[in-house]
Amino acid sequence: MQLNQLKYFVVVANQESITKAAKILYVSQPAVSKTIGQLEDELETTLFDRTGRTLKLNRAGKLFYSYVNDSLEELNRGV
């Protein structure tokens, strides 16, 4: 698991869209999709329920989000 995977995950979760997340992150949409797919493969679970182009965190995604978001906030504070 890499830090950029976690950052991408949080942005996708907040935006509920890979396309919107890609624009915010200044990367291509396929790069974000691939990164999220790799993260889900590593965790051996899906993190989002996909409806068309909209992504909503599922139960596992919500739990993972709470840990990741808190951890990234601590990193940003320099703890």
- Tokens at 64, concatenated: 């993972």
| Mean pLDDT, rounded, of the chain | 93
- Contacts of residue 73, defined as CB under 8 A and 6 or more positions apart, other chains included, come to none
- Contacts of residue 64, defined as CB under 8 A and 6 or more positions apart, other chains included, come to 9, 43, 47
- Tokens at 24, concatenated: 């915010």
Full-model pTM: 0.89
Domains and CATH numbers, the chain: 3-77 (1.10.10.10)
Q: Identify the pLDDT of residue 19.
A: 95
| Residue 34 confidence (pLDDT) above 80 | yes
Considering only CA atoms, which of 24, 21, 20, 19 is closest in space to residue 9?
Answer: 21
